[in-house]
Structure 1
Amino acid sequence: MDSLLPPEIVDLARRVVEENTAAGRKVTLAESCTGGMVAGAITEIPGSSAVLDRSYVTYSNEAKMGDLGVDSDIIEAFGAVSVACVYAMAKGALERSGADVAVAISGIAGPDGGSELKPVGTVVFARMVRGDEEPTAEERLFADTGRSGVRLQATLCALELLLP
Structure 2
Amino acid sequence: MTARAILKAARGRTVATAESCTGGMVAAALTDVAGSSDVFLWGVVTYSNAAKTDLLGVRTETLKAVGAVSEEVAREMADGARARSGADIAVSITGIAGPGGSEHKPEGRVCFGLATAAGTRTETVEFGAPGRAKVRAAARDHALALILSALQP
Measured against the shorter chain, the TM-score band is: over 0.9
Equivalent in 123, 130, 136 of residue 121 of structure 2: 136
- Coordinate RMSD, CA, aligned: 0.8
In the TM superposition, what whole-angstrom CA distance separates every residue of 1:141-162 from its partner, at most 9, and x where no partner exists?
A: 0031110100000000000011
Aligned to 1:18: 8
Cα distance, 1:27 vs structure 2 = 0.3
Runs of 4+ in 1 over 6 A off after TM superposition: none
Match of 2:131 in 1: 146
Asked if residue 36 in structure 1 is aligned to residue 9 in structure 2, the reply is no
Task: Provide the rounded CA distance (Å) in 1 between the counterparts of 2:7 and 2:142.
Answer: 15
TM value normalised by structure 2: 0.95
Normalization by structure 1: what TM-score? Answer: 0.89
Structure 1 unaligned residues grouped into runs of 5+: 1-10
149-158 or 134-143: which moved more? Answer: 134-143
1:118 aligns with 2:108: no
Query: What percentage of residue pairs aligned between the two structures are identical?
Result: 48
Secondary structure of the structure 1 residue equivalent to 2:97: coil
Deviation at 1:117? 1.4
Q: CA offsets per residue over residues 16-74 of structure 1, 9 Å max, x none?
A: 11111xx2110000000000000000011010001101101000000000000101000
Give the 5 Å matches for 1:25-104. 25-104=13-92
Counterparts of 2:129 and 2:108 in 1: how far apart (Å)?
A: 5
Displacement of 1:103 in angstroms is 0.4
